[in-house]
Structure 1
Amino acid sequence: MAGGVSSVEVVKDGATGLEKLVLREAHGCSVQVFLYGGQVIFWENEYREQLLFVSRKAYFKPPKAIRGGIQICFPQFGNHGVLEQHGFARNRLWSVDETPPPFPATTSNCHIDLILKQSPEDLKIWPNSFEFRLRVALSPTGDLMLTSRIKNTNADGKPFKFGFSYNTYFSVSDISEVRVEGLETLDYIDNLQCGKRCTEQGDAVVFESEAEKVYLSAPPKIVIIDHDKKRTFELRKEGLPDVVVWNPWDRKAKTILDFGEEEYKCMLCVGAANAEKPITLRPGEEWQGRQEISVVPSSYSSGQWDPEIIHRIQDI
């Protein structure tokens, strides 16, 4: 699972009793992945700063998904038909994949492989056989990489359709001071307006009220700028055309049982997704989607990037 000076260990979480895998890199970066939900919950940099948001009111037991980290939304994004919201993958118990197939070349030796297959209960509500393989990797510089591979294993020759999202809860200093760049001029679906299709008018996405949007055909790279923390998240994606953006703001936050009333101020959910047009897989076919996040220090003032940051982003 690991090589060099990095390490991967399986432990039981003392606070929740759930089994998790802990990835550590030599420079002090670490990631914790819970088998429940196949979910990255903690991602810390070398200064032991938590980069992901997890609600202090989050449930860590079935049947609720864990509120925070990176949720795996499959086989749907949203709330449609008989399936629970965002599908069932985020509240199922995954297993360590002992014999994963070859993955694309990666710069990281520090990784874990998980697998999820349909249960008898899942077949009753979504009658399809599948293999969902997830690799979580931590690079030597602390970048967090998630690669999903979903295969149709139906024996009856039947194709299936699915939606997907990496619902990623970022920890931010103050939501009012955060900007998302790379989504300007794009069309988006506004779920607060009954799925109305709109066009982003601003030169960046900023937050002054509740937001629940799906940006369509987004570029492969966007950035999330946290002015107060002088920190920029760079999110890169492959195989996932859309980007989901969500913050419940004050009124909605008060209605969410596993979310603190004031916590909307210190989080922003942004994730690579395939939300608008379902993916179709025939038996034997496999789909792959990838999200990679890195963190760079930034100084941001009056709408101007540091030249050093611009140079780094253009080189990616």
Structure 2
Amino acid sequence: MATASERVPVELCKGVNGLDKVVLREVRGGSAEIYLYGAHVTSWKNEHGEELLFVSAKANFKPPKPIRGGIPICFPQFSNNGTLEQHGFARTKFWSIDTDPPPFPTSTSNKAFIDLILKPTEEDMKIWPHSYEFRLRVTLGPGGDLMLTSRIRNTSADGKPFSFTFAYHTYFSVSDISEVRVEGLETIDYLDNLHNKERFTEQGDAITFESEVDKIYVSTPTKIAILDHEKKRTFVIRKDGLPDAEFEFHSAKALFPPI
């Protein structure tokens, strides 16, 4: 029988190495954990207590290193190009709880959500000279669905535009990779990072993984499904405002598509 504290939909507590984290709980028993360091989702469990995300046993919860696994936030770049650190700096910054968020498309009846915000410091402006507010809402739905909503606003005094790239670099927990297939990307063009980003068209009726894979699918549909036959589990990914999807496979225990 659950205690009163276990039923609290939002709880701020301490995580690994004393880092602040937020625990979201929904009525059926599902949960999610978000560290303020990096606004990083490190756990997402269904009503049976099964972990749906992969976090490496070697994950470093010691700043300034990023946490390895879960859902890192890649901003203002998703790459290792330029002078910024690989995949940007948002995942290695301490975010704050947003006490005055704008309206978000989240049901008012749902209480299991947290609003976080990131603003640049003077030191940040030296390496990326743009003023912004990055707001993130993480919501755990009554049925256990996890939704991340990002809003990035230009706050520069002169209103000068800037460009950036962004990704949710999600690591899903799956069984043997040979039992996994991805559906919804049939006939979609992709850039193959293992072949100098040469462009191809997906020919199969689903993506399967028999060897190393690193592909960027362009202009993808809003719905993609990841089927794990061994676990009899399907991840249905719905997205808006994120046209591309990258799928990588480098180990038998992690599938991580930044979507």
Matched, 1:188 2:190: yes
For 1:223, the aligned partner's letter is A
Counterpart position of 1:199 = 201
- Whichever residue aligns with residue 271 of structure 1, its letter is P
Alignment identity in percent?
A: 62
* In 1, Cα distance between equivalents of 2:79 and 2:131: 21
* Residue equivalent to 1:86: 87
Aligned partner of 1:256 in structure 2 is none
Residue equivalent to 1:58: 59
Per-residue CA distance 1:187-245 (angstroms, 9 max, x = gap): 11111222221211211111111111111000000000001000000000001111111
1:129 paired residue number: 131
Give the SS at the match of 2:178.
helix
Alignment of 1:30-109 (within 5 A): 30-106=31-107, 108-109=110-111
Of the two structures, which has the highest relative contact order with CA contacts closer than 8 Å and spacing of 6 or more? 1
Q: Is the 8 A contact 2:73 2:91 kept in 1?
A: yes
Q: Which residue of 2 aligns with 1:305?
A: none
Moved over 3 A (4+): none
Equivalent of 1:242 in 238, 241, 244? 244
TM-fit CA distance, 1:105: 4.0
1:6 Cα deviation after fit:
5.4
When structure 1 is superposed on structure 2, of 26-35 and 117-126 the one drifting more is 117-126
Separation of aligned partners in 2, 1:74 and 1:129: 13
Give distance in 1, aligned partners of 2:110 and 2:245.
25
| Letter aligned with residue 143 of structure 1 | D
d(CA) in 2 for partners of 1:155 and 1:47? 50
- Superposed, which structure 2 residues align to 1:120-269 within 5 Å? 120-248=122-250, 264-269=251-256
Distance 2:103 2:194 in 1: 41
Which secondary structure does the structure 2 equivalent of 1:160 belong to?
coil
Which letter does structure 1 place at the counterpart of 2:258?
Answer: G
Q: What's the secondary structure of 1:32's corresponding residue?
A: strand
Deviations 1:269-293 (A, max 9, x none): 0132xxxxxxxxxxxxxxxxxxxxx
Question: SS at the partner of 1:56?
Answer: coil
Using the alignment, how far apart are the partners of 1:266 and 1:180 within structure 2?
16
Identify, as 1 or 2, the structure richer in strand: 1
- Counterpart in the other structure of 1:29: 30
CA distance in 2, matches of 1:110, 1:151: 25
Measured in 2, the distance between the counterparts of 1:213 and 1:153 equals: 34
Q: Secondary structure at the match of 2:102?
A: coil
TM-score (norm 1): 0.78
CA contact (8 A) 2:13 2:21 kept: yes
- The 3-state SS of whatever aligns with 1:234 is strand
CA contact (8 A) 1:182 1:219 kept: yes
| Whole-angstrom CA distance in 2 between matches of 1:184 and 1:125 | 40
The equivalent residue for 2:258 is 271
Give ranges in structure 1 of 5+ residues lacking alignment.
249-263, 273-316
Aligned length: 252
Q: Quick check: 1:8–1:111 contact (8 Å CA) kept in 2?
A: yes
Shift of 1:16: 2.5
Q: Do the aligned residues in 2 keep the contact of 1:245 with 1:269 (CA within 8 Å)?
A: yes
Alignment of 1:275-314 (within 5 A): none
